[in-house]
Amino acid sequence: MVIKPMIRSNICINAHPVGCAKDTARQIAYVKAQKQKRGTKSVAEGGDGPKTVLVLGCSTGYGLASRISAAFEYGADTIGVSFEHEAQEKKGGTPGWYNNAEFDREAKDAGLKTLTINGDAFSDEIRQQVIAEVKNWGRTFDLIIYSLASPVRTDPDTKVQYKSVLKPVGSEYSGPSLDMMTGKITFTSASPAEGDDIPNTVKVMGGEDWERWIKQLSEAGVLSQGCRTVAYSYIGPKLSHAIYRDGTIGAAKKDLEARAHNIDAALKKIGGAAYVSVNKGLITRSSSVIPIITLYLGVLFKVMKARGTHEGCIEQMERLFAERLFTGPNSAAGTVPVDAENRIRVDDWELDPAVQAEVDAIMPTVTESNVNETTDLAGIRHDFLNINGFDVDGVDYEKDIADMRLID
């Protein structure tokens, strides 16, 4: 069959196998080029960077980019966990399933050990499987990336399922929303949180599960001396705080950041550390449906590209690893620059006051008639399609796909 993007309300509900694989390969190629540019030595070349890495939420976005950076710049062996729908001959899989397949293929070709576990990373069963696998390797983890994002989580102790919601707190939030495919601008609203919306969202998207992972890995004796762990967060500009930073998801992110201090204290016993990395805003499957965010990102990308400071997932994570985490001699773990809350800030270029002032000046001027001039509409549309393997260079989208399991 010929596969075209199926889009419903700013959500793409299908994926292109070859496109997903090629975009993963593009990210790998970028990291390899950066390795040469920076002169980074891999483990096999005598480098002292990460050797055995666990990535929780490894299949897309920042998680995938982190796994690629660890493997293809530093030569780390990796275990990744994500929950994907597996492709069948006549039925497509999720984008992450294809991304994982391409990562595993290229990692094996590079002589790296790789294991991708398809399952619920919130469950103790998956935790025990990871522990058993790394012990089977005869290894311990020196880096753990926590990049999980999910609408639901089942508490391992009570078996109660919790659902997260994206809502403001206290009052309704309204703002302009940009349709990336048509360029149309509409005003959308989000009703305020009610009932248990806030604690339920914290239960799913907060730091409880991250803390549980580190505790069980520590008790199992599979953390290396000096082990570090990093989770990801977002703050964003003031104009989005009502729907994000001060909303239900923001409450979860604040819980994540608070628990990072607990994890950090626990890891200090083995010379390790825990950090939250605050990253730049990007087009993702979730950000695409948040009021005002697509319009903001369209303007932001326009401004940052003109300044030469725009980054996608892979550029951001490669910079996080090379300029924040592994800055010591011979790419060893170095002193990490942090803010007053012990957070790593790689949103520094986005929140540059000059960038934000320019964005603030442009935002009120955007209309449907000038949207192509005032925003990077083509760029955010490309990123949106790219997530699901569409609009990827070098892919023949008219070619018949006879077997949806194949990524060539």
SS3 148: coil
- Distance between CA atoms of 123 and 157, rounded to whole angstroms? 10
Two structure tokens written together for 281 = 């805003």
Specify the DSSP class assigned to residue 43.
G
Q: pLDDT by residue for the chain (408 residues), tens digit each?
A: 899 999 987 789 999 999 999 999 999 999 999 999 999 999 999 999 999 999 999 999 999 999 999 999 999 999 999 999 999 999 999 999 999 999 999 999 999 999 999 999 999 999 999 999 999 999 999 999 999 988 999 999 999 999 999 999 999 998 898 988 899 999 888 899 999 999 999 999 999 999 999 999 999 999 999 999 999 999 999 999 999 999 999 999 999 999 999 999 999 999 999 999 999 999 977 666 677 899 999 999 999 999 999 999 999 999 999 999 999 999 999 999 999 999 999 999 999 999 999 999 999 999 999 999 999 999 999 999 999 999 999 999 999 999 999 998
Residue range 171-194, pLDDT digits in tens: 999 889 898 889 999 988 889 999
CA distance 63 to 56: 7
Q: SS3 of 315, please?
A: helix
Given this model, what pLDDT does residue 286 score? 67
pLDDT, residue 288, reads 65
Burial class (CB in 10 A: 0-12, 13-18, 19+), 85: middle
Tell me 325's DSSP state: I
Q: Are 63 and 147 spatial neighbours (Cβ–Cβ below 8 Å)?
A: yes
Tell me the per-residue pLDDT of 278-300, one tens digit each, with 9 for 90 and over. Answer: 999 999 776 666 778 999 999 99
Would you please indicate which residues are annotated as catalytic (active-site) residues? 244
**Tens of pLDDT, residues 11-68:** 899 999 999 999 999 999 999 999 999 999 999 999 999 999 999 999 999 999 999 9
Helix axes 17-38, 313-320, angle to 10 degrees: 30
* 149: three-class secondary structure by DSSP: coil
For the record, the structure tokens of 276 come out as: 């939250």
